[in-house]
Structure 1
Protein backbone atom coordinates (compact mmCIF):
# COMPACT_ATOMS: atom_id res chain seq x y z
CA UNK A 1 0.00 0.00 0.00
CA UNK A 2 1.51 3.34 -1.08
CA UNK A 3 1.96 6.17 1.40
CA UNK A 4 -0.33 9.18 1.25
CA UNK A 5 1.15 12.24 -0.48
CA UNK A 6 2.37 15.12 1.66
CA UNK A 7 1.32 17.69 -0.94
CA UNK A 8 -1.14 17.68 -3.82
CA UNK A 9 -1.90 20.61 -6.13
CA UNK A 10 -4.81 20.26 -8.53
CA UNK A 11 -5.32 22.75 -11.39
CA UNK A 12 -3.94 25.60 -9.29
CA UNK A 13 -3.79 29.18 -10.55
CA UNK A 14 -1.85 31.83 -8.63
CA UNK A 15 -1.86 35.62 -8.68
CA UNK A 16 -0.14 38.63 -7.22
CA UNK A 17 -1.60 42.11 -6.98
CA UNK A 18 -4.60 41.16 -9.11
CA UNK A 19 -2.50 39.69 -11.94
CA UNK A 20 -2.58 35.97 -12.70
CA UNK A 21 0.97 34.65 -12.90
CA UNK A 22 0.42 30.97 -13.70
CA UNK A 23 -2.44 28.49 -14.02
CA UNK A 24 -3.12 24.80 -14.45
CA UNK A 25 -0.42 23.75 -11.96
CA UNK A 26 -0.69 20.17 -10.79
CA UNK A 27 1.79 18.17 -8.76
CA UNK A 28 2.09 15.56 -6.06
CA UNK A 29 4.90 15.14 -3.52
CA UNK A 30 5.17 12.03 -1.41
CA UNK A 31 7.52 11.01 1.39
CA UNK A 32 11.14 11.04 0.25
CA UNK A 33 10.46 13.23 -2.79
CA UNK A 34 11.74 16.67 -3.78
CA UNK A 35 10.74 19.01 -6.57
CA UNK A 36 12.77 21.95 -7.91
CA UNK A 37 10.99 25.09 -9.15
CA UNK A 38 12.63 27.01 -11.97
CA UNK A 39 11.60 29.98 -14.03
CA UNK A 40 12.49 33.63 -14.71
CA UNK A 41 11.74 36.45 -12.29
CA UNK A 42 8.03 37.16 -12.20
CA UNK A 43 7.01 33.68 -13.32
CA UNK A 44 5.36 32.94 -9.96
CA UNK A 45 7.85 30.81 -8.03
CA UNK A 46 7.60 32.79 -4.80
CA UNK A 47 3.84 33.20 -5.13
CA UNK A 48 3.38 29.46 -5.62
CA UNK A 49 5.48 28.73 -2.52
CA UNK A 50 3.50 31.25 -0.47
CA UNK A 51 0.30 29.62 -1.67
CA UNK A 52 1.51 26.15 -0.69
CA UNK A 53 2.57 27.53 2.71
CA UNK A 54 -0.95 28.86 3.27
CA UNK A 55 0.07 32.53 3.29
CA UNK A 56 -2.31 33.36 0.47
CA UNK A 57 -5.16 31.52 -1.24
CA UNK A 58 -4.92 30.11 -4.76
CA UNK A 59 -6.79 32.04 -7.41
CA UNK A 60 -8.41 28.73 -8.35
CA UNK A 61 -7.80 25.03 -7.87
CA UNK A 62 -6.92 23.20 -4.66
CA UNK A 63 -3.85 22.85 -2.46
CA UNK A 64 -3.86 19.86 -0.12
CA UNK A 65 -1.26 19.35 2.59
CA UNK A 66 -1.45 17.67 5.94
CA UNK A 67 -2.30 19.77 9.01
CA UNK A 68 0.82 21.37 10.50
CA UNK A 69 2.83 19.77 7.69
CA UNK A 70 4.62 22.75 6.14
CA UNK A 71 7.85 24.44 7.24
CA UNK A 72 8.39 27.55 5.09
CA UNK A 73 11.68 29.40 4.62
CA UNK A 74 11.44 32.61 2.61
CA UNK A 75 13.94 35.28 1.57
CA UNK A 76 14.00 36.78 5.08
CA UNK A 77 16.14 34.95 7.63
CA UNK A 78 13.57 35.63 10.36
CA UNK A 79 16.06 35.96 13.22
CA UNK A 80 16.25 38.28 16.22
CA UNK A 81 19.54 40.14 15.93
CA UNK A 82 19.73 40.98 19.65
CA UNK A 83 19.58 37.30 20.63
CA UNK A 84 22.42 34.82 20.37
CA UNK A 85 22.44 31.94 17.92
CA UNK A 86 21.44 29.57 20.73
CA UNK A 87 18.67 31.85 21.98
CA UNK A 88 17.22 32.22 18.48
CA UNK A 89 17.15 28.48 17.88
CA UNK A 90 15.96 27.66 21.39
CA UNK A 91 12.96 29.94 20.85
CA UNK A 92 11.99 28.16 17.65
CA UNK A 93 12.64 24.73 19.13
CA UNK A 94 10.32 25.54 22.03
CA UNK A 95 7.61 26.59 19.57
CA UNK A 96 7.72 23.15 17.96
CA UNK A 97 8.41 21.02 21.03
CA UNK A 98 12.02 20.13 20.20
CA UNK A 99 14.20 19.61 23.27
CA UNK A 100 17.72 19.23 21.90
CA UNK A 101 19.06 21.84 19.47
CA UNK A 102 22.61 20.48 19.35
CA UNK A 103 22.09 18.21 16.29
CA UNK A 104 20.67 21.17 14.37
CA UNK A 105 23.59 23.43 15.32
CA UNK A 106 26.05 20.72 14.28
CA UNK A 107 24.28 20.11 10.96
CA UNK A 108 24.76 23.73 9.89
CA UNK A 109 28.20 24.24 11.49
CA UNK A 110 26.86 26.76 14.00
CA UNK A 111 28.12 25.16 17.21
CA UNK A 112 31.18 27.40 17.34
CA UNK A 113 28.93 30.45 16.96
CA UNK A 114 26.35 29.35 19.52
CA UNK A 115 26.96 32.26 21.92
CA UNK A 116 27.43 34.97 19.32
CA UNK A 117 24.69 37.62 18.91
CA UNK A 118 22.88 37.06 15.63
CA UNK A 119 23.44 40.69 14.71
CA UNK A 120 27.20 40.06 14.67
CA UNK A 121 26.97 37.23 12.13
CA UNK A 122 27.92 37.51 8.47
CA UNK A 123 25.19 37.36 5.83
CA UNK A 124 25.94 33.70 5.14
CA UNK A 125 25.95 32.82 8.84
CA UNK A 126 22.61 34.56 9.31
CA UNK A 127 21.23 32.56 6.41
CA UNK A 128 22.42 29.32 8.00
CA UNK A 129 20.75 30.32 11.26
CA UNK A 130 17.53 31.04 9.39
CA UNK A 131 17.63 27.66 7.68
CA UNK A 132 18.57 25.64 10.76
CA UNK A 133 15.06 26.29 12.08
CA UNK A 134 13.84 23.71 9.58
CA UNK A 135 15.54 20.98 11.58
CA UNK A 136 13.67 21.77 14.81
CA UNK A 137 10.17 22.09 13.36
CA UNK A 138 9.55 18.36 12.99
CA UNK A 139 7.43 19.19 9.94
CA UNK A 140 7.62 16.84 6.96
CA UNK A 141 7.16 19.27 4.05
CA UNK A 142 9.87 21.88 3.52
CA UNK A 143 8.86 24.78 1.24
CA UNK A 144 11.96 26.80 0.42
CA UNK A 145 12.42 30.01 -1.56
CA UNK A 146 15.99 30.48 -2.86
CA UNK A 147 17.45 28.97 0.33
CA UNK A 148 21.10 29.16 -0.79
CA UNK A 149 21.23 32.96 -1.19
CA UNK A 150 24.37 34.31 0.57
CA UNK A 151 25.73 30.80 1.23
CA UNK A 152 29.26 29.84 0.20
CA UNK A 153 30.02 26.49 -1.41
CA UNK A 154 30.67 24.74 1.91
CA UNK A 155 27.40 25.99 3.36
CA UNK A 156 25.49 24.96 0.25
CA UNK A 157 26.88 21.46 0.74
CA UNK A 158 25.68 21.48 4.38
CA UNK A 159 22.23 22.56 3.27
CA UNK A 160 22.09 19.93 0.52
CA UNK A 161 23.00 17.24 3.04
CA UNK A 162 20.27 18.46 5.40
CA UNK A 163 17.71 18.19 2.59
CA UNK A 164 18.97 14.74 1.59
CA UNK A 165 18.76 13.54 5.21
CA UNK A 166 15.26 15.00 5.51
CA UNK A 167 14.13 13.11 2.40
CA UNK A 168 15.74 9.94 3.72
CA UNK A 169 13.65 10.25 6.86
CA UNK A 170 10.42 10.40 4.88
CA UNK A 171 10.14 14.15 4.43
CA UNK A 172 9.56 16.08 1.22
CA UNK A 173 10.82 19.38 -0.19
CA UNK A 174 9.58 21.95 -2.70
CA UNK A 175 12.49 24.25 -3.52
CA UNK A 176 12.85 27.30 -5.75
CA UNK A 177 16.54 27.43 -6.65
CA UNK A 178 18.88 27.80 -9.60
CA UNK A 179 21.68 26.01 -7.73
CA UNK A 180 22.40 22.35 -8.42
CA UNK A 181 21.99 20.72 -5.01
CA UNK A 182 22.84 17.24 -6.27
CA UNK A 183 19.33 15.99 -5.52
CA UNK A 184 17.63 13.33 -7.57
CA UNK A 185 14.64 15.59 -8.11
CA UNK A 186 12.54 16.55 -11.12
CA UNK A 187 12.22 20.18 -12.20
CA UNK A 188 8.96 22.07 -12.55
CA UNK A 189 9.38 24.90 -15.08
CA UNK A 190 6.93 27.70 -14.24
CA UNK A 191 6.93 28.89 -17.85
CA UNK A 192 5.00 25.72 -18.74
CA UNK A 193 1.98 27.10 -16.84
CA UNK A 194 0.87 30.30 -18.57
CA UNK A 195 -1.47 32.73 -16.81
CA UNK A 196 -5.18 32.84 -17.41
CA UNK A 197 -6.24 35.78 -19.59
CA UNK A 198 -8.28 37.41 -16.83
CA UNK A 199 -7.99 37.57 -13.05
CA UNK A 200 -11.05 37.35 -10.86
CA UNK A 201 -12.12 40.48 -8.94
CA UNK A 202 -11.10 40.80 -5.32
CA UNK A 203 -7.66 39.37 -6.04
CA UNK A 204 -5.17 38.78 -3.27
CA UNK A 205 -2.28 41.22 -2.91
CA UNK A 206 0.65 39.61 -1.06
CA UNK A 207 2.18 43.03 -0.44
CA UNK A 208 -0.52 43.59 2.19
CA UNK A 209 0.54 40.59 4.31
Structure 2
Protein backbone atom coordinates (compact mmCIF):
# COMPACT_ATOMS: atom_id res chain seq x y z
CA UNK A 1 0.00 0.00 0.00
CA UNK A 2 1.20 3.48 -0.91
CA UNK A 3 -0.01 6.41 1.18
CA UNK A 4 0.54 10.16 1.02
CA UNK A 5 -0.65 12.36 3.85
CA UNK A 6 -0.87 16.15 4.08
CA UNK A 7 1.60 16.60 1.18
CA UNK A 8 2.81 20.04 0.19
CA UNK A 9 4.99 20.65 -2.86
CA UNK A 10 7.19 23.67 -3.42
CA UNK A 11 8.62 24.30 -6.90
CA UNK A 12 11.08 27.16 -6.92
CA UNK A 13 9.35 29.82 -4.86
CA UNK A 14 5.83 28.64 -5.76
CA UNK A 15 3.73 26.36 -3.57
CA UNK A 16 1.94 24.06 -6.05
CA UNK A 17 -0.34 22.24 -3.63
CA UNK A 18 -0.74 21.45 0.05
CA UNK A 19 -2.75 19.10 2.23
CA UNK A 20 -2.90 16.45 -0.49
CA UNK A 21 -3.82 12.91 0.57
CA UNK A 22 -3.70 9.69 -1.44
CA UNK A 23 -4.04 6.00 -0.71
CA UNK A 24 -3.27 3.30 -3.28
CA UNK A 25 -3.97 -0.35 -2.49
CA UNK A 26 -3.59 -3.64 -4.36
CA UNK A 27 -5.69 -3.61 -7.52
CA UNK A 28 -5.98 0.18 -7.70
CA UNK A 29 -5.55 2.16 -10.91
CA UNK A 30 -5.28 5.86 -10.09
CA UNK A 31 -5.15 8.65 -12.65
CA UNK A 32 -3.85 12.04 -11.57
CA UNK A 33 -5.87 14.81 -13.21
CA UNK A 34 -5.67 18.58 -13.44
CA UNK A 35 -4.52 21.32 -15.82
CA UNK A 36 -0.92 21.65 -16.99
CA UNK A 37 1.28 23.15 -14.32
CA UNK A 38 -0.86 22.06 -11.39
CA UNK A 39 1.82 19.66 -10.14
CA UNK A 40 0.97 16.18 -11.44
CA UNK A 41 4.54 15.28 -12.42
CA UNK A 42 5.82 16.88 -9.22
CA UNK A 43 3.46 14.66 -7.24
CA UNK A 44 4.76 11.57 -9.04
CA UNK A 45 8.30 12.57 -8.08
CA UNK A 46 7.26 12.89 -4.45
CA UNK A 47 5.51 9.51 -4.52
CA UNK A 48 8.62 7.82 -5.92
CA UNK A 49 11.08 9.52 -3.57
CA UNK A 50 12.80 11.46 -6.36
CA UNK A 51 11.87 14.70 -4.60
CA UNK A 52 11.11 15.63 -1.03
CA UNK A 53 7.82 17.23 0.06
CA UNK A 54 7.74 20.65 1.65
CA UNK A 55 5.42 19.08 4.23
CA UNK A 56 3.69 15.78 4.81
CA UNK A 57 4.83 12.21 4.25
CA UNK A 58 4.82 9.32 1.80
CA UNK A 59 4.63 5.79 3.20
CA UNK A 60 5.03 2.34 1.70
CA UNK A 61 3.43 -0.53 3.61
CA UNK A 62 2.93 1.80 6.54
CA UNK A 63 6.50 3.08 6.82
CA UNK A 64 8.14 6.23 5.42
CA UNK A 65 9.69 5.48 2.04
CA UNK A 66 13.00 6.97 3.24
CA UNK A 67 13.11 4.30 5.96
CA UNK A 68 12.25 1.52 3.49
CA UNK A 69 14.30 2.80 0.56
CA UNK A 70 15.66 -0.53 -0.72
CA UNK A 71 12.40 -2.44 -0.27
CA UNK A 72 10.43 0.40 -1.83
CA UNK A 73 12.69 0.64 -4.87
CA UNK A 74 12.43 -3.12 -5.40
CA UNK A 75 8.65 -2.75 -5.43
CA UNK A 76 8.58 0.30 -7.72
CA UNK A 77 8.73 0.76 -11.47
CA UNK A 78 8.84 4.43 -12.45
CA UNK A 79 8.73 5.56 -16.07
CA UNK A 80 9.06 9.30 -16.55
CA UNK A 81 7.72 11.38 -19.40
CA UNK A 82 11.07 11.50 -21.25
CA UNK A 83 12.21 8.42 -23.16
CA UNK A 84 15.71 8.67 -21.61
CA UNK A 85 17.45 6.69 -24.35
CA UNK A 86 21.05 6.71 -25.50
CA UNK A 87 20.72 7.59 -29.19
CA UNK A 88 23.87 5.64 -30.07
CA UNK A 89 22.51 2.38 -28.63
CA UNK A 90 19.88 0.11 -30.09
CA UNK A 91 16.50 -0.48 -28.43
CA UNK A 92 17.79 -3.85 -27.20
CA UNK A 93 20.95 -2.31 -25.76
CA UNK A 94 18.98 0.51 -24.13
CA UNK A 95 16.52 -1.90 -22.56
CA UNK A 96 19.24 -4.22 -21.28
CA UNK A 97 21.07 -1.25 -19.76
CA UNK A 98 17.88 0.00 -18.06
CA UNK A 99 17.17 -3.45 -16.64
CA UNK A 100 20.72 -3.89 -15.35
CA UNK A 101 20.66 -0.44 -13.75
CA UNK A 102 17.43 -1.38 -11.96
CA UNK A 103 18.86 -4.69 -10.75
CA UNK A 104 16.68 -6.76 -13.07
CA UNK A 105 17.54 -9.67 -15.34
CA UNK A 106 18.97 -8.18 -18.56
CA UNK A 107 19.04 -11.48 -20.46
CA UNK A 108 19.08 -10.91 -24.23
CA UNK A 109 16.25 -13.33 -24.98
CA UNK A 110 14.08 -11.88 -22.24
CA UNK A 111 14.59 -8.28 -23.39
CA UNK A 112 14.14 -9.24 -27.03
CA UNK A 113 10.80 -10.87 -26.23
CA UNK A 114 9.64 -7.72 -24.41
CA UNK A 115 10.55 -5.49 -27.35
CA UNK A 116 8.80 -7.82 -29.78
CA UNK A 117 5.75 -7.80 -27.49
CA UNK A 118 5.65 -3.99 -27.61
CA UNK A 119 5.92 -3.98 -31.42
CA UNK A 120 9.63 -3.28 -31.97
CA UNK A 121 10.69 -6.62 -33.39
CA UNK A 122 11.91 -4.99 -36.62
CA UNK A 123 13.86 -2.23 -34.83
CA UNK A 124 15.83 -4.27 -32.30
CA UNK A 125 19.28 -3.37 -33.65
CA UNK A 126 18.69 0.10 -35.09
CA UNK A 127 20.28 3.07 -33.33
CA UNK A 128 17.71 4.82 -31.16
CA UNK A 129 18.30 8.10 -32.97
CA UNK A 130 16.40 6.86 -36.04
CA UNK A 131 13.29 5.79 -34.11
CA UNK A 132 10.06 7.76 -34.21
CA UNK A 133 8.76 9.36 -31.00
CA UNK A 134 6.25 6.54 -30.60
CA UNK A 135 8.93 3.90 -31.07
CA UNK A 136 11.20 5.64 -28.56
CA UNK A 137 8.35 5.62 -26.08
CA UNK A 138 7.80 1.90 -26.62
CA UNK A 139 11.41 1.07 -25.71
CA UNK A 140 10.80 2.36 -22.19
CA UNK A 141 7.36 0.78 -21.97
CA UNK A 142 8.87 -2.63 -22.78
CA UNK A 143 10.04 -2.67 -19.17
CA UNK A 144 6.43 -3.24 -18.12
CA UNK A 145 6.66 -6.77 -19.51
CA UNK A 146 9.82 -7.38 -17.48
CA UNK A 147 8.60 -5.94 -14.18
CA UNK A 148 5.43 -7.83 -13.30
CA UNK A 149 7.07 -8.70 -9.97
CA UNK A 150 7.14 -5.01 -9.03
CA UNK A 151 3.68 -4.27 -7.60
CA UNK A 152 3.78 -0.47 -7.91
CA UNK A 153 3.94 1.11 -11.37
CA UNK A 154 4.17 4.92 -11.52
CA UNK A 155 3.92 6.26 -15.07
CA UNK A 156 4.09 9.84 -16.37
CA UNK A 157 2.07 10.23 -19.60
CA UNK A 158 2.72 6.66 -20.82
CA UNK A 159 0.36 6.99 -23.81
CA UNK A 160 2.18 9.95 -25.38
CA UNK A 161 3.05 9.46 -29.09
CA UNK A 162 1.45 5.99 -29.25
CA UNK A 163 -0.95 5.01 -32.01
CA UNK A 164 -4.48 3.79 -31.32
CA UNK A 165 -3.56 0.10 -31.29
CA UNK A 166 -0.62 0.68 -28.95
CA UNK A 167 -2.79 2.74 -26.58
CA UNK A 168 -5.32 -0.09 -26.38
CA UNK A 169 -2.59 -2.68 -25.80
CA UNK A 170 -0.97 -0.60 -23.06
CA UNK A 171 -4.32 0.01 -21.35
CA UNK A 172 -4.93 -3.75 -21.35
CA UNK A 173 -1.46 -4.35 -19.85
CA UNK A 174 -2.06 -1.86 -17.04
CA UNK A 175 -5.52 -3.27 -16.36
CA UNK A 176 -4.11 -6.81 -16.19
CA UNK A 177 -1.40 -5.69 -13.75
CA UNK A 178 -4.06 -4.29 -11.42
CA UNK A 179 -6.28 -7.35 -11.84
CA UNK A 180 -3.33 -9.45 -10.64
CA UNK A 181 -3.02 -7.35 -7.47
CA UNK A 182 -0.65 -4.67 -8.72
CA UNK A 183 -1.03 -0.91 -8.38
CA UNK A 184 -0.77 1.78 -11.05
CA UNK A 185 -0.55 5.55 -10.59
CA UNK A 186 -0.36 7.53 -13.82
CA UNK A 187 -0.92 10.83 -15.53
CA UNK A 188 -2.59 10.97 -18.92
CA UNK A 189 -4.72 13.31 -20.99
CA UNK A 190 -6.11 10.44 -23.07
CA UNK A 191 -9.19 8.30 -22.71
CA UNK A 192 -7.36 4.99 -22.85
CA UNK A 193 -10.32 2.64 -22.49
CA UNK A 194 -9.26 0.70 -19.39
CA UNK A 195 -11.06 -2.51 -18.47
CA UNK A 196 -12.58 -0.58 -15.58
CA UNK A 197 -12.47 3.19 -15.10
CA UNK A 198 -9.53 4.41 -13.03
CA UNK A 199 -10.00 6.27 -9.79
CA UNK A 200 -9.34 9.93 -10.52
CA UNK A 201 -7.49 12.21 -8.14
CA UNK A 202 -7.77 15.88 -9.12
CA UNK A 203 -4.48 17.46 -8.02
CA UNK A 204 -6.04 20.86 -8.66
CA UNK A 205 -8.31 20.34 -5.64
CA UNK A 206 -5.26 21.00 -3.45
CA UNK A 207 -3.73 23.75 -5.60
CA UNK A 208 -2.53 26.91 -3.90
TM tier, shorter chain? Answer: 0.7 to 0.9
Displacement of 1:157 in angstroms is 1.5
CA distance in 1, matches of 2:36, 2:104: 37
1:17 equivalenced with 2:12 (yes/no): yes
Alignment match, 1:135: 145
Alignment match, 2:178: 167
CA distance in 2, matches of 1:108, 1:164: 16
Equivalences, count: 190
CA distance in 2, matches of 1:106, 1:166: 19
Alignment match, 1:59: 54
CA distance in 2, matches of 1:187, 1:113: 36
Tell me, yes or no, if the aligned pair for 1:14 and 1:60 is still in contact at 8 Å.
yes
CA distance in 2, matches of 1:94, 1:170: 25
- SS, match of residue 16 in structure 2: strand
1:192 equivalenced with 2:205 (yes/no): yes
- The RMSD of aligned alpha carbons is 1.6
Displacement of 1:139 in angstroms is 2.3
Tell me, yes or no, if the aligned pair for 1:92 and 1:136 is still in contact at 8 Å.
no
CA distance in 2, matches of 1:44, 1:94: 31
Alignment match, 1:207: none
Tell me, yes or no, if the aligned pair for 2:76 and 2:150 is still in contact at 8 Å.
yes
Alignment match, 1:70: 76
Displacement of 1:182 in angstroms is 2.0
- SS, match of residue 112 in structure 1: coil
CA distance in 1, matches of 2:113, 2:174: 14
CA distance in 2, matches of 1:192, 1:151: 29
Structure 1 unmatched runs, 5+ = 196-209
| Displaced runs of 4 or more, over 6 A | none
1:83 equivalenced with 2:89 (yes/no): yes
Tell me, yes or no, if the aligned pair for 1:35 and 1:187 is still in contact at 8 Å.
yes
TM-score, scaled relative to structure 2: 0.84
Structure 2 unmatched runs, 5+ = 61-70
